[in-house]
């Protein structure tokens, strides 16, 4: 089933139903950011959800990459792969609308594990982008197609006989932060954040309220109110 919004109920969780209209992913992309999501997570008791990794937006597309985590677990190899690309192709073929591919490769720069052809296939299925704890290649072509790619850097080598997917749709780790399939994951120029699936409705509600409170602080400061008074008045900074 295609997921596009975070609504007024929290499925498969013990959370109290939220009394606010569904917020579409398109609205999250437009109004929220990774810092706002981190602040909301702090307020909800999730203080360690942003991997401290230098993952850069390499495809030149600005804004917020956000969607549902589709995980791949990668490993280095030095032997001839008897079934090259088997799991990575199966993972891409099972992508759904608004997924974000998460490639957990432990920071390995051994090869460019994600490139144009995988991006083309994933993009065609509605995938929003890819986050790679490792290297990618074909950056210019991914930029041209408007496909988001965050990674540690680039490497021109193909992954065949260098790295392979050993599992997918499993829990992985990025910088010590767990990413489960279906978690909400977001990235922008400030970093990366993982919002656990069960907590996502409450976190998005808190972030949504904070962004508009920040707008009031900004307007007050520009009108001459001191930052101390603005903080006392609105409670956000």
- Looking at 14-160, list the stretches that DSSP marks H as alpha helix, in order from N- to C-terminal side: 25-31, 34-43, 86-93, 116-124, 139-144
Neighbours of 189 (CB within 10 A): 11
Residue 134: predicted pLDDT = 98
Residue 143 within any structural domain of the chain:
yes
Residues 163 and 214 in one domain: no
Residue 6: predicted pLDDT = 66
The two tokens of residue 12 are: 């498969």
- Interatomic CA distance for residues 172 and 161, integer angstroms: 22
Cβ atoms 108, 74 nearer than 8 A = yes
Residue 20: predicted pLDDT = 47
Name the DSSP class of 171.
-
Least Cα distance to 208 among 28, 16, 4 occurs for 28
- What does the pLDDT profile of the chain (237 residues) look like in tens digits? 456 766 543 343 333 333 445 788 999 999 999 999 999 999 999 999 999 999 999 998 889 999 999 999 999 999 999 999 999 999 999 999 999 999 999 999 999 999 999 999 999 999 999 999 999 999 999 999 999 999 999 999 999 999 999 999 999 999 999 999 999 999 999 999 999 999 999 999 999 988 876 666 666 677 776 778 756 766 666
- Terminal Cα-to-Cα distance of the chain (whole angstroms): 38
Instruction: Give one word for 13, left, alpha or beta, with left for phi > 0 and alpha for psi -120 to 50.
Output: beta
Strand-strand pairing, 65-76 and 163-168: antiparallel
The domain that holds 133 is classified in CATH as 3.50.30.40
Residue 234: predicted pLDDT = 62
- Interatomic CA distance for residues 43 and 36, integer angstroms: 11
- Interatomic CA distance for residues 28 and 193, integer angstroms: 14
Residues 73 and 185 in one domain: yes
Counting the structural domains of the chain, the total is 2
Residue 21: predicted pLDDT = 55
- Looking at 54-161, list the stretches that DSSP marks H as alpha helix, in order from N- to C-terminal side: 86-93, 116-124, 139-144
Residue 13 within any structural domain of the chain:
no
Residues 152 and 211 in one domain: no
Residues 65 and 139 in one domain: yes
Residues 82 and 31 in one domain: yes
Residues 116 and 230 in one domain: no
Residues 49 and 105 in one domain: yes
224: domain range?
Answer: 205-234
Residue 10: predicted pLDDT = 38
- Interatomic CA distance for residues 178 and 202, integer angstroms: 19
Residues 59 and 100 in one domain: yes
What's the pTM value of the predicted model, to 2 decimals? 0.85
Residue 19: predicted pLDDT = 43
Residue 10 within any structural domain of the chain:
no
């Amino acid at each position: 089933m295609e997921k596009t919004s975070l609504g007024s109920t929290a499925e498969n969780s013990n959370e109290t139903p939220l009394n606010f209209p569904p917020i579409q992913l398109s609205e999250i992309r437009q109004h929220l950011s990774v810092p706002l999501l981190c602040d909301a997570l702090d307020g909800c008791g999730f203080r360690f959800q942003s991997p401290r990794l230098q993952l850069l937006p390499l495809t030149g597309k600005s804004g917020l990459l956000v969607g549902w985590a589709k995980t791949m677990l990668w490993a280095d190899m030095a032997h001839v792969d008897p079934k090259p690309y088997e799991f990575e192709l199966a993972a891409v073929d099972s992508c759904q609308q608004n997924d974000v591919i998460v490639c957990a490769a432990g920071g390995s720069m051994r090869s460019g594990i994600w490139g144009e052809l995988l991006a083309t296939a994933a993009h065609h299925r509605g995938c929003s982008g890819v986050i790679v704890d490792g290297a990618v290649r074909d950056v210019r072509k991914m930029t041209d197609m408007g496909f988001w790619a965050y990674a540690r850097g680039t490497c021109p080598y193909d992954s065949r006989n260098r790295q392979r997917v050993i599992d997918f749709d499993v829990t992985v780790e990025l910088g010590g932060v767990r990413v489960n399939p279906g978690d909400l994951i977001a990235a922008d120029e400030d970093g990366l954040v993982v919002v656990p699936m069960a907590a996502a409705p409450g976190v998005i509600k808190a972030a949504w309220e904070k962004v508009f409170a920040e707008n009031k602080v900004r307007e007050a400061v520009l009108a001459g109110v001191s930052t101390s008074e603005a903080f006392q008045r609105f409670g956000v900074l």
